């Protein structure tokens, strides 16, 4: 596991401007990526075996790198159907791909999961991907995650879990938007600001928003146990769940 004091230096060195900009706009997002890696490292510490890890929504590779540096025993499939972002991840993480520790899949999440064997994966990990899905699609994805995990396997997700208190959630989002304006206008990144605001409208729409109580109930309905939400940071949180052995 990367020492927390060295985390930013290591990641900015590998991921470069992608990490630097995300850390400026949304530092809690980069913290969640680190927490996903930390939790995966805890799971890996229980065994000396090589572990199969599936990552949903690899993006430019920030969470992928957190997983790769969490344990030498991970063999990772990183899934993302956005080719521009995945090409950046391939460039950033070529060393691990060349060593056979990382492979990329360009299918959408549901298609990719449907093509993975039942009870074959130790960890399914993700950060800031599931909240982008339509709620009906997300439900199918959760069912497939449960299917492919081995008994005792773990789901780890750092993401936007909307507060059940809608008024408090709204105030928190307003503060978040104010932060976007403050940072991105100072950087004269108005195009990025526009992108983030437009995307936020999608995140908060009724058929996308991932409300905490609904999301945890969805995990329970899929069959998971030991469901836990921790590290609540504004609208962000880390959720873990286990497939019963």
Q: Identify the helix (H) or strand (E) that includes residue 98.
A: helix 94-98
| Residue closest to 65 by CA, chosen among 28, 40, 47 | 40
245 has a pLDDT exceeding 80:
yes
> Which segment of 9-13, 160-164, 172-176 scores lowest on mean pLDDT?
9-13
User: Pairing mode, if any, of strands 74-79 and 149-160?
Assistant: unpaired
In the structure, what pLDDT confidence band is assigned to residue 199 with cuts at 50, 70 and 90? confident
118's CB contacts (< 8 A; 6+ apart) are: 147, 148
Q: What is the pTM of this model?
A: 0.89
pLDDT the model gives residue 16: 44
208 has a pLDDT exceeding 60:
yes
pLDDT the model gives residue 8: 46
3-state secondary structure 120-185: CEEEEEEECCHHHCCHHHHHHHHHHHHHHEEEEEEEEEEEECECCCHHHHHHHHHHHHHHHHHHHH
Phi, psi of 136 (to 5 degrees): -70, -40
What average pLDDT score do residues 182-200 get? 84
pLDDT in tens, 38-90: 999 999 999 999 999 999 999 888 899 999 999 999 999 999 998 888 888 99
pLDDT in tens, 116-163: 999 999 999 999 999 989 999 999 999 999 999 999 999 999 999 999
Structure-derived torsion over alpha carbons of residues 4, 6, 10, 16, reported in degrees to the nearest 10: 90
In the structure, what pLDDT confidence band is assigned to residue 19 with cuts at 50, 70 and 90? very low
């Amino acid at each position: 596991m990367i020492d927390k004091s060295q985390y930013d230096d290591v990641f900015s060195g590998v991921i470069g401007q992608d990490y630097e900009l995300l850390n400026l706009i949304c530092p809690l997002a980069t913290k969640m990526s680190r927490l996903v890696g930390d939790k995966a490292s805890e799971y890996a510490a229980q065994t000396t075996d090589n572990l199969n890890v599936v990552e949903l929504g690899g993006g430019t590779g920030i969470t992928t790198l957190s997983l790769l540096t969490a344990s030498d025993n991970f063999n990772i499939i990183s899934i993302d159907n956005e080719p521009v972002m995945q090409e950046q991840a391939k460039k950033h993480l070529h060393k691990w791909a060349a060593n056979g520790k990382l492979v990329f899949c360009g299918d959408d999440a549901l298609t990719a999961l449907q093509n993975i064997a039942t009870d074959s994966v130790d960890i399914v990990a993700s950060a800031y991907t599931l909240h982008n899905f339509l709620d009906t699609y997300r439900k199918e994805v959760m069912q497939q995650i449960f299917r492919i995990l081995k008994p005792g396997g773990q789901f780890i997700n750092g993401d936007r879990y909307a507060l059940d208190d809608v008024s408090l959630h709204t105030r928190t989002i307003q503060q978040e938007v104010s932060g976007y304006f403050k940072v991105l206008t100072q950087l004269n990144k108005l195009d990025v600001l526009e992108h983030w605001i437009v995307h936020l409208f999608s995140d908060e729409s009724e058929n996308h928003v991932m409300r905490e109580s609904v999301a945890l109930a969805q995990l329970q309905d899929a069959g998971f146990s030991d469901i836990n939400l921790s590290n609540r940071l504004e609208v962000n949180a880390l959720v873990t769940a286990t497939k019963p052995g």
